[in-house]
A = this chain, B = another copy of it.
């Protein structure tokens, strides 16, 4: 399957916008809309990421500054047939609305159409949880790996608050007003068929604050996401080839983990001990064995008789034991307003990481790494997974098609 997406030439109007470092190398569909831009200074509010294609946008496309992960459950309104019809209806509305919103046009029933004019690289990515298959009579079409992750000893999951849902919207854009509006429209227009469970808001550096090739830092101050898949690996490690479930060709899986950080105890740690916990220098992300950020760590290196990178460090535990243990990371920071407890006490922070991993097969690629980290990772002392969910990210839709058309009819 071609990385550049499907459809005829007419569907491939993919003018890369000027100055977006590194995009050309990713081969993804990003173009600038010029229709309304004649009287504007050079700004990026009207930059558009193509919605249609073999794959949904929002996976291998460059991550914009903001995300809302929106978890919703199907409203049970009858038998499997009714539920499947409800799911089909939701997917139809989302396809139509997402195609319009990502292009900078108001949704069909858009009560605030003027908030739709700045797509700012908006992407809308739709995923299905196990419940979308079991409740709808589609069990035999469920990808094999679409089931809850094993329970890890490190987990302190608040399933009610941040747990698995039947469907997922991942809404990304560089402008927070765009995100708020798209979230509102996409959830309001399917009210009655789905019920909102949670919204998880995340962010990276704002667009334009620094060169886009710089790796994000998380709120513990660590360079986060250095080891990641490149475009050459997407077909083999991210996109499903339809061998098991033909309808799913072009889809992928997403693991979403909400990982709380204890910044109070982390900041008590000496900077050197912080680095030994991670296995990388804090200042520049270089492995403690030397070199620069993107150099391979040398896990055999010894300094003063001790391993330069401790065996218990995060990168030593996370490193792949085989070629298949690799996945695409696309995480965001979160920093929500702290909520008072029953006694009225307000914690000092409500911060962490929305860890999102995309891979063809959760069981083969993601689970072994997660199991190893759960067993031991020096960082576990300061991080606590409080949410966890797995989704089947639907194949992309070509123009005129509806997302999930191969699944529900």
> Which residues on A are within 8 Å of B, measured CB to CB?
19, 21, 40-41, 43-45, 65-66, 111-115, 118, 120, 160-161, 174-181, 183-184, 187-188, 191, 195-201, 203-211, 217, 219-221, 263-264, 266-267, 269, 282-283, 333, 335-340, 344, 346-349, 351
Contact = CB atoms under 8 A, between A and B. Distances in A.
Contacts of A44: 208-209
Given A40-B211, A115-B219, A65 B267 contact: no
A176 B346 contact: no
B209 A43 contact: yes
9 contacts: A21-B41, A43-B209, A115-B219, A176-B204, A176-B333, A177-B217, A178-B209, A180-B203, A198-B337
B221 A177 contact: no
A41 to B, nearest CB: 5
A93 to B, nearest CB: 15
A175 B204 CA distance: 8
Top 9 closest A-B pairs, CB basis? A45-B209, A112-B221, A111-B267, A176-B203, A180-B335, A199-B337, A175-B206, A45-B210, A175-B209
A207 B176 CA distance: 10
Contacts of A266: 111
Given A43-B209, A65-B206, A211-B43, A115 B177 contact: no
B264 A217 contact: no
A181 B219 contact: yes
Given A161-B340, A211-B40, A348 B188 contact: yes
B65 A41 contact: no
A175 B217 CA distance: 13
A282 B112 CA distance: 9
A293 to B, nearest CB: 12
A351 B203 contact: no
Residue among A43, A180, A337 facing the most chain B CB atoms (10 A cut-off): A337
B351 A160 contact: no
Given A176-B66, A180-B333, A210 B346 contact: no
Contacts of A176: 65-66, 203-206, 333, 335
